[in-house]
Amino acid sequence: MNISFAPQGIVAFRYPKQGIGDLAGTGVGQILLDLSAVTCEYPEQIHELINPILEQCRAQQLQCRIATAPYLSWNTKREDLNALLEQLAQESIKLCGQAGSQYLIVKPLTVGIADTDLWEINQAYYLRLGKQAEKYHVKILLENQCKDFNGHLVRGFCSDGRQAAKWVDALNEAAGEERFGFCMDVGVCNLCGQNMYDFALALGSRIKAVILRDCDGNNDSALLPFTAARRGQPQTDWLNLIRGLREIGFDGELIMDIHDTVSAFSPILRPGLLRMAKSVADYFKWQIEIENVLKKCPSRVLFGAGNMCRNYMKCYGEKYPPLFTCDNNQKLWETEFCGLTVKAPEALLDLPKDCAVFICNIYYREIEAQLRKMGIENPIEFFNDEYMPSFYFDRVERE
């Protein structure tokens, strides 16, 4: 899975050096090539205007695997720009070919088009772009949209997962190859009140990119995930998002769009904020790929004989069975817990070198330091049960 950042709010297009440098300083290896931020009267100008960004990306060794074509906001009042948008999209495909971008997110044409004609017109539009995309080895991604209805944001183009899947398949069938895919915008799903688990499962492997952004479910914004909270509760259903992406084995482009959060911070604080955002992105990657980590280990043991161990055994005990578990609580040694023998930590010293130890306890860093101090050189992984497919809701209570 590749992590990239949307540059809006971080990178100034005219003077991109500092913003690109701040992003590179987080350790992120990619940036979204956001051509939607380019304003130009003539399509060919897009190359000239984006060059400073590309030069700085090359200087900082940042890749641009995915890009967004210019588009109109859903609330635009202009009705004369669909032809211009198509020209800009065509030029964007050329630019993607030059920049090495594998994917281009292209929003639909909507201005002045009746809902009944929306798919027919956009099917022809996307297929015209597909011919250009084939030439430059670029895949075009459709994206779920919301629209304004009497002052309320409601579901728009591609907001129904099953229908969007049919449209992507129809485009690929017409193109005669897999030239089209899907980008899932988490913020739009939240604004439309959708179950993101069902949405992800409906689209499955068609999802090539996911835009991570938080909002309160009422206002269209791009906040750092977990920051749109009320009374200690998140306003975005991260549980079903992670469950869904984990279920479909998502392994594409994970895009952090946090421009509203970034814009609210002083530029002086920006480097620290971006490092925090990178940590959040890494956390999502880890949660989504947690089963892949289990799968790659030839054998495993657990550390911890409590609630997290119990949830592990409920969800993964049969598929990825541990040899045993261990615990620091001496009273539990040589007892059984969830079908596992509970051993003392010293038992880990006898493990084969390729056997991984999965810490099933919230005191991850403390336990990892303990095991390394004991001389254990085996791979040590963290297990977390916050986003499991199912849970035990009663808790094990011990003295």
SS3 33: strand
Written as six digits, the tokens of 265 are 């911070």
Burial (CB count <10 Å: 0-12, 13-18, 19+), residue 311: buried
Place of tokens 């011919």: 131
Nearest in space to 208 (alpha carbons), one of 4, 36, 57: 4
Residue from 26, 2, 78 nearest 10 by CA? 26
**pLDDT tens, per residue, the chain with 399 residues:** 999 999 999 998 888 999 999 999 999 999 999 988 766 556 677 777 888 899 999 999 999 999 999 876 555 555 567 888 888 899 999 999 989 999 999 999 887 788 889 999 999 999 999 999 999 999 999 999 988 777 778 888 899 999 999 999 999 999 999 999 999 999 999 999 999 999 999 999 999 999 999 999 989 999 999 999 998 889 999 999 999 999 999 999 999 999 999 999 999 999 999 999 999 999 999 999 998 889 899 999 999 999 999 999 999 999 999 999 999 999 999 999 999 999 999 999 999 999 999 999 999 999 999 999 999 999 999 999 888 887 666 666 655
Residue 371 and residue 277 share a domain:
no
For residues 150 and 153, give the distance between their C-alpha atoms in angstroms, rounded to a whole number: 8
Is 85 a member of any domain? Answer: yes
My answer on whether 278 and 303 are in the same domain is no
How many domains would you assign to the chain? 2
Q: 369 and 226, same structural domain? A: no
What is the model's pLDDT at position 47?
78
Domain boundary among 272, 288, 304: 288
Q: How far apart are the first and last CA of the chain?
A: 42
DSSP notation for 274-321: HHHHHHHHHHHHHHHTHHHHHHH-SEEEEE--SHHHHHHHHHHTTTS-
Question: Is 45 inside any structural domain?
Answer: yes
pLDDT of residue 42: 63
Instruction: Give me the CATH number covering residue 120.
Output: 3.20.20.150
Which pLDDT belongs to residue 68? 94
Domain boundary among 268, 288, 308: 288
254 plus 307 within the same structural domain: no
Domain contains 398: no
CA distance readout (Å), 168 to 104, 177, 190: 14, 11, 22
What is the identity of the amino acid at 32? L
Contact 67, 101 (CB under 8 A): yes
Contact 30, 61 (CB under 8 A): no
Residue 133 is assigned to a structural domain of this protein: yes
* pTM given for the model: 0.90
**What range defines the domain where residue 227 resides?**
2-288
Residues 31 and 79 in one domain: yes
DSSP 209-264: EEEE-B--SSS---B-TT-SEETTEESS-HHHHHHHHHHTT--SEEEE--HHHHHH
Q: Are 131 and 192 part of one and the same domain?
A: yes
SS3 133: helix
In a domain, 211, yes or no: yes
The kind and range of the H/E element at 168 are helix 161-175
Q: What is the DSSP string of 64-82?
A: --EEE-----TT----S-H
Q: Are 318 and 269 part of one and the same domain?
A: no
Residues 304 and 282 in one domain: no
Name the amino acid, one letter, at 66.
I
Which of the listed residues 288, 310, 344 is the one where a domain comes to its end? 288
267 and 313 assigned to the same domain:
no
Torsion sign (Cα): 370, 373, 374, 377: positive
Q: Is residue 377 part of a domain?
A: yes
- Coil vs helix vs strand at 273: helix
What is the structure's pLDDT at 153? 81
Residue 298 domain flag: yes
Domain match, 141 and 163 both: yes
Residue 300 and residue 381: Cα distance in Å, rounded?
Answer: 10
The pLDDT score that the predictor gives to residue 331 is 93
Assess if residue 121 is contained within a domain.
yes
CATH number of residue 351's parent domain? 3.40.50.20
Which pLDDT belongs to residue 394?
Answer: 66
- Residue 224 pLDDT: 97
Residues 145 and 233 in one domain: yes
